[in-house]
Each structure stands twice: as C-alpha cells, then as structure tokens.
Structure 1
Amino acid sequence: MTPLVLLSGWGCDARLWQPLAEHWPEGLAVSTPDWPGYGTRRPLADPASLAELGDAMSDELTPDAVWVGWSLGGLLAAALLDHLPAPRALVLLGMGKRFCHEEGISTVELAAFCRAFARDSNATLTHFWRWQLRGEPDPRAAHRQLHGLLGDNRGVDNATLAAGLTQLAGLDNGNRLARSPCPVWRIAGEQDPLLAPTQRANADHRLSNAGHCPMLSQPAPLAACLANIAKVSTP
C-alpha cells in the first residue's frame, strides 16, 4: 500500500496525529514528520523559504507516498509541488487553494491575528488552539484533548510561527493545483469554522460531526478516509 505522510498545521506539531494511531488498518505505512522548527527539528535559516523547506523535507515527502497536509500543512504541501517530485496524491485537509476567503477567514481577520501575535505570541497561540476547535461537537473536550497531546510545550519557535502566518496570508496555490502533476483530494469537516461554506461543500469528502480538527473529534472516520485514498492511489 502507498505510504501516507501526515503533515501538521500552524502551531501544532506531529503529536496532533496520535489519536489516529489505533484506527489505521494493518499494513498501512504512516509517518508523521515534523516541519522544520517544530518538535525537535531545527528551524530553517529562512523559515519563509519554500526552496529551503523542500530541501529539508525531501527525505520524508517522497514521490511514492500520499502527502496529507492539514491546514497550513496543506498549503505548504501544495506549494512544494513546485520544489519536489510529485507524490502519488495530495490530500488537503481543512484547506483550500488559499487560506483567506471572503466567506471564511478574511484578510482583515488574519491581519488582526498577526498583530496580536506580534504583541503576545503565547497568548495568541493559546487563543488559536481554542478558535480552531469551535466547530467540533464538544469544543471544551477537544481542547482538553489537544492540551493533553501538546501540553505546555509549544514545540515550535517564534520565527517559524511568524513565517507561517506570512505564508497563510500570502500563499495562493490556485495555479499550482489547476496544473497539479498528481491527483488532489480535499477533505473538510462539515462544521469547519476556518473554511468558507463553499469550500466545505466542494470537498471530495465531508466528515460529519467534525470541524477543523477531525483527528481529535472523528479519528476513526478520518483514518478510514485517508486509508481509502491511499488504497486507490496504489499502483
């Protein structure tokens, strides 16, 4: 079966994927590498450089795999199609061709968030953890679960976080995805508060009773969905 590579988003390292561990079918090869600057990985000299990012991730993002990018991870994985050999398939989880959308998170909202981050990064990251969980069936329980996974250790440095916000504001993968060298799958939680309604409606797979973090609220359906994509992507 084709390997699955799971890539986390802004402010969350690879520990976020742990709830899926007990739901994978046998024989599926799943890896959860951290981005540079997250977990124990050293940050890039220039955290905003996609070329450097591609070089750093080339051993994990191999062409025989399905890349699964959640949130900012999806935005970055799509951008790396210009820098790395194409995977079997690309899965965008909770992400469209760009982050900001007139019916979703506006550029004004994101700019305000960036200003708040510049003032107090720790408080802003804590706020973001709660903000992205609004669409889950039980946001408080999801937050307890997220805190249990990540604890008080942010697992990421400020320069990498700041670069990620710049990428959320500026990256537009519309042209890349329109001429994608591989199949692209879109998965969305039906109540994802960070996606516009049209983005949720146009997803290839919509997860019921889930928001932006289905790995917390719906790990079994998400694992089954990803395993099926890996299966159909196997030559």
Structure 2
Amino acid sequence: MSEPTSRRRLVLLAGWGCDARIWRDLADHWPEAVEVRTPDWPGHGARPELRDPAALGALAEAMADDLPADAVWVGWSLGGLLAGALLDRLPAPRALVLLGMDARFCHPEGVDEAALATFRGAFRRDPDATRAHFLRWQLRGEPAPRAAHRRLLTLLGEQAPAPTTTLAAGLAQLARLDNTRRLAAAPCPVHRLAGEADPLLTPALRAGADRRIADAGHAPMLSQPQALAGALAAIAAAPERRPTVQETPS
C-alpha cells in the first residue's frame, strides 16, 4: 500500500543571494502526489529581517511553521547548511536533502577559507557588485552558463532579495557553521544531491553524493529542473525510515 499523499511533502529552501523564486522552473515537473512549499528565509521576499540575522535560535522560531516534521526538507547551498543546523532546534523532518552542500561549506579542495574571506571583504566594500559576481561564478558548471544566468536574472531580477545585513550574516554562516556532529547523529535520513559538475563541491563530495544530476553544476534547478524534480519526488515518495541506534544515517 502506498503512503498517503499528505506524507509526500517537500519544503525547498533557497541558498545565499537568492530567494524562493529560484525554484519556479520546477513547478511543471512535480508529480500530482507531491506537495511542494517554497518558503523564504527571514529577511527575504516579504518576510521581515531577524533582529540578529545570524542567530540560529531566532531562525528556528521564525521557520518553525514552515519546516514541519512530516515533510522532507530540501536545502540548496546555504539553505542546506541552515537546514542541517536546525535539526537540533526543531522536530526532525522525514528526511533532509542537502543539494550542493555537505556538513560544512569551506574545504581546502573546494572553496577554501581564504577564498571565502576574500569574498566577504569584497562584499563589505560593494555588496551589489559582489553578489552579482557570485551569481555568475556559481553557474560555471552548468552546461550553458550564460543561459542559466539569464534565466536566474529573469526569475530574481538584479536587486538583492534581502538586506545587506542578512546577506552578510549568511556569508558568516557559510564560514563558521559546521554540521559534522549534527549529521553524524542525524534524527532522520540525510540525502546528498549534487550536480555532476558542481564547481563549489570537491570532486570527492560530488562522487560520493547519493544522487548526481547529469549535465548540471551548482544550480540544477536552472539547468536540469525536470531531473532535479524527479530526484526530489523519488525521495519524497520513499517510505519513512528513521535511523536507529544500530544504523548509521545515510
């Protein structure tokens, strides 16, 4: 017997410098049995900024209604890092999907700490130009980077989706958050998805992903929306399975 439709729920969480509009190209590719929500993080879209945008406790309180326990949480890039950090602050989801992210962002063979520090310095000097540069830079792994960039601008426009203070806090979280402990003892299954040419992940992380999206880089929602929607729908439709003390979370 298949699971009730109400159990097949996905919550999609955007990454740094973007908001929920980044997911719009997936809309035509969802099976009818899957319910999808795309809430914005605080400070993005119409949501008010947190008094302290870097405070995880305040973030958990603000997102509690948007991250139900009977859903699969899908976090892209910084969204995955933040979703992982909320595992010990909110009731556990059915599963956590990390898209283009691992337990931490910086890695000597990927984006190292020095490179991120340089980027943060540039952002302090010129936030708009630095964000615009990053949006282009992260698309290097897509099969048609210029087309992906045009589509991104069509979806988001050129204006920043959040105040500079919220965006700066997000960069600080990319630099400091480490979910290694949380994911090692995760209260739910953890799935890692990666574009096979994601330039922000190390080769080992791309190769070790549970699912790889062919002909895609860091932003498969732009270059391969059908394949990404299919992969996420398959995870949402899978029977619920909670880790036990004898099991290692996937």
TM-score (norm 1): 0.99
Distance 1:123 1:153 in 2: 11
Give distance in 2, aligned partners of 1:218 and 1:7: 17
Q: Distance in 2 between matches of 1:151 and 1:80?
A: 29
- Which structure has the bigger radius of gyration? 2
Residue in structure 2 matched with residue 18 of structure 1 by the alignment: 24
Q: Which amino acid aligns with 1:155?
A: P
Q: Deviations over 1:22-54 (max 9, x none)?
A: 000112110000000011100101000000000
- Residue from 114, 125, 136 that aligns with 1:108: 114
Question: What is the match of residue 128 of structure 1?
Answer: 134
Contact 1:88-1:233 at 8 Å conserved across structures: no
After superposition, the C-alpha distances for 1:141-196 in whole angstroms (9 at most, x for unaligned) are 00000000001232211111000000000000000000000000000000000001
Match of 2:245 in 1: none
* 1:52-91 matched pairs, under 5 angstroms: 52-91=58-97
Question: SS of the counterpart of 2:75?
Answer: strand
> What letter matches 2:71 in structure 1?
A
Q: How does 1:181-200 map to 2 (within 5 A)?
A: 181-200=187-206
Deviations 1:93-133 (A, max 9, x none): 00011000111000000000000000000000000000100
Alignment partner of 1:95 out of 90, 101, 120: 101
CA distance, structure 1, for counterparts of residue 172 and residue 160 of structure 2: 19
Q: Give the aligned length.
A: 235
Runs of 5+ unmatched residues, structure 2: 242-250
Structure 2: how far apart are the matches of 1:37 and 1:62?
20
**Residue number among 173, 176, 188 corresponding to 2:179 in the alignment:** 173
Name structure 1 gaps, 5 residues minimum. none
Query: Given residue 163 of structure 1, which amino acid in structure 2 is its aligned partner?
Result: A
Deviation at 1:234, TM superposition (A): 4.6
Moved over 2 A (4+): none
CA contact (8 A) 1:40 1:155 kept: no
1:212 aligns with 2:215: no
TM superposition shift of 1:56 = 0.2
Q: Which residue pairs with 2:248 in the alignment?
A: none
